């Protein structure tokens, strides 16, 4: 596996992938590790997770550097990503016991009934390159602490990140086989999902990848959690603080080079606020510093790969040809590396690529709508349903609109973000299942009913 620095287009590292026999051995190791790991007291697993958070913080500079070199994330954002992973470790180290406490149910005299939460086994995680540490810890922190073991198939352009994460758990004291990184291409994922030793799978990535993994898992009757793409609406009402909405919106669209499932992508603005918002928004977008991701002052670095840049540019070009107005940006930068400028399109016609597709780059589509009802209608005019943002100075109004928008999460007067303390996931073709919080740690457990009776009853069974 060759790693290409997207800021220079140079090969900076090569890794030897795992052969089929290597993977077979690793699956055997995972199976053996699970049998002992599941027996470890939960308090021990929490302690080890807290240690993993310490390892992350102790080596934050090194890990952030790896992220930046492999996928082009600005170094300040890479450092923040590593710290967020450490916070996830802190959260589950503190709360896993409470989340997994057996639930006791009402029962007849002389009996006690509870639901116990027990681990399933080896879980395969197919993860993307855009948040190469956070996406992994989002599953690993809860799933490993619940007693499962993890098998990571990371994106092929971030193998250094995959091995660094494996190192985190090893340095924290996790037993061999509890977390392993499989350096394999995507065309070998199906075989791993189908393997009898793998009990479940989680994927964050494209709709196509999600359908493929879900199909194989379904054929083998295995649980899955999918977090797929998004085309998140960013609704601006006439009573919004337009300066705050524009400034936050520029960041919500362009953080991580716009390469985020929960980035604001479709800016839906009511007529009374449209002209002022568009002017402020374009100005905020143009003020973002595009440059070397190693520079701490950089806001927007390169796209992760040249082919991804070309895909984004094709979506922009086709949308402009269909009638969209190019407000700013719109052409790859004439410099070394995969650089695309923050771009704003207005007067976006229905059916063009930026209207119907997920644009995984720094491109904002801005729409003018008549009123609040039209804003909700446009916000819901998509097959995706990951996140949404609503801007209004009337908090009650924002909460009411949040109930009308079809999405896994709606943020009022804030950009969409994930947080270890709250559930995260989508609806529609954005996937299913939830990660993080109590919901996340319970996705891959056996919810076992345990019925205890002092004496046998008369044998009557009511189904």
Just list the catalytic residues.
227, 261
| Pairing outcome for strands 111-119 and 103-105 | antiparallel
Contact 137, 147 (CB under 8 A): no
**Three-state SS across 335-354?**
CCCCCCCCEEEECCCCCCHH
Give the CA distances from residue 463 to residues 370, 450, 460, in Å, rounded to whole numbers and listed in that order: 55, 17, 10
What is the gyration radius of the CA atoms in the chain, in angstroms? Answer: 23
d(CA 372, CA 397): 10
Give the CA distances from residue 141 to residues 90, 222, 227, 230, in Å, rounded to whole numbers and listed in that order: 9, 21, 17, 24
Maximal C-alpha separation, the chain: 83
Burial class (CB in 10 A: 0-12, 13-18, 19+), 3: buried
The single-letter DSSP state of residue 413 is S
Helix (H, G, I), strand (E, B) or coil at 332: coil
Helix (H, G, I), strand (E, B) or coil at 221: coil
Give the CA distances from residue 191 to residues 216, 405, 447, in Å, rounded to whole numbers and listed in that order: 9, 38, 27
Helix (H, G, I), strand (E, B) or coil at 113: strand
Bridge partners (DSSP) of residue 66 are: none
Contact 18, 64 (CB under 8 A): no
d(CA 53, CA 14): 28
Dihedral sign of CA atoms 3, 7, 8, 9 in order: positive
d(CA 234, CA 254): 13
| Pairing outcome for strands 200-204 and 179-181 | unpaired
Give backbone dihedrals phi and psi of 410, rounded to 5 degrees, phi first: -130, 125
End-to-end CA distance of the chain: 55
251 Cβ contact partners less than 8 Å away, ≥ 6 residues apart: 415
Contact 233, 266 (CB under 8 A): yes
């Amino acid at each position: 596996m060759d790693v290409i620095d997207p800021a220079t287009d140079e090969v900076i590292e090569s890794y030897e992938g795992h052969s089929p026999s290597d993977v077979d051995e690793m699956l055997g190791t995972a199976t053996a590790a699970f049998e002992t790991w599941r027996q470890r007291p939960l308090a021990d697993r929490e302690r080890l997770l807290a240690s993993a958070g310490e390892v992350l913080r102790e080596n934050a500079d090194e890990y952030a550097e790896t992220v930046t070199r492999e996928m082009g994330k600005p170094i300040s954002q890479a450092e923040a990503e590593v710290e967020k992973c450490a916070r996830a470790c802190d959260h589950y180290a503190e709360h896993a016991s409470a989340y997994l406490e057996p639930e006791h149910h009402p029962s007849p005299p002389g009996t006690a009934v509870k639901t116990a939460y027990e681990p399933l086994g080896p879980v395969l995680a197919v993860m993307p390159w855009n948040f190469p540490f956070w996406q992994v810890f989002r599953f690993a922190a809860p799933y490993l602490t619940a007693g499962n073991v993890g098998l990571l198939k990371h994106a092929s352009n971030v193998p250094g990140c995959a091995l660094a994460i494996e190192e985190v758990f090893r340095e924290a004291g996790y037993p061999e086989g509890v977390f392993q990184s499989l350096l394999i291409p995507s065309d070998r994922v199906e075989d791993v999902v189908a393997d009898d030793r793998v009990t479940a799978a989680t994927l964050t990535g494209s709709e196509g990848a999600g359908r493929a993994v879900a199909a194989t898992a379904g054929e083998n009757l295995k649980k899955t959690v999918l977090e797929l793409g998004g085309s998140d609406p960013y609704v601006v009402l006439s009573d919004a603080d337009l300066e705050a909405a524009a400034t936050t919106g520029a960041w919500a669209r362009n953080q991580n080079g716009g390469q985020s499932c929960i980035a604001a992508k479709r800016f839906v603005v009511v007529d009374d606020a449209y002209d002022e918002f568009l002017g402020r928004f374009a100005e905020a977008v143009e003020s973002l510093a595009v440059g070397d991701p190693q520079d701490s002052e950089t806001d927007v670095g390169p796209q992760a790969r040249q082919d991804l840049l070309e895909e984004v540019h094709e979506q922009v070009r086709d949308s402009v040809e269909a009638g969209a107005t190019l407000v700013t940006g719109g052409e790859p930068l004439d410099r070394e590396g995969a650089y695309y400028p923050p771009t704003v399109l207005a007067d976006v016609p229905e059916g063009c690529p930026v209207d119907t597709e997920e644009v995984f780059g720094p491109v904002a589509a801005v729409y003018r709508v008549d009123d609040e009802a039209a804003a909700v209608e446009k916000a819901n005019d998509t097959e995706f349903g990951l996140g949404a943002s609503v801007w209004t100075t009337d908090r009650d109004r924002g909460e009411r609109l949040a109930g009308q928008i079809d999405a896994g999460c709606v943020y009022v007067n804030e950009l969409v973000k994930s947080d270890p303390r709250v559930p995260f996931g989508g609806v529609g073709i954005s996937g299913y299942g939830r990660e993080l919080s109590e919901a996340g740690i319970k996705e891959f457990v056996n919810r076992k009913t345990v019925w205890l009776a002092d004496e046998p009853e008369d044998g009557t069974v009511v189904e």
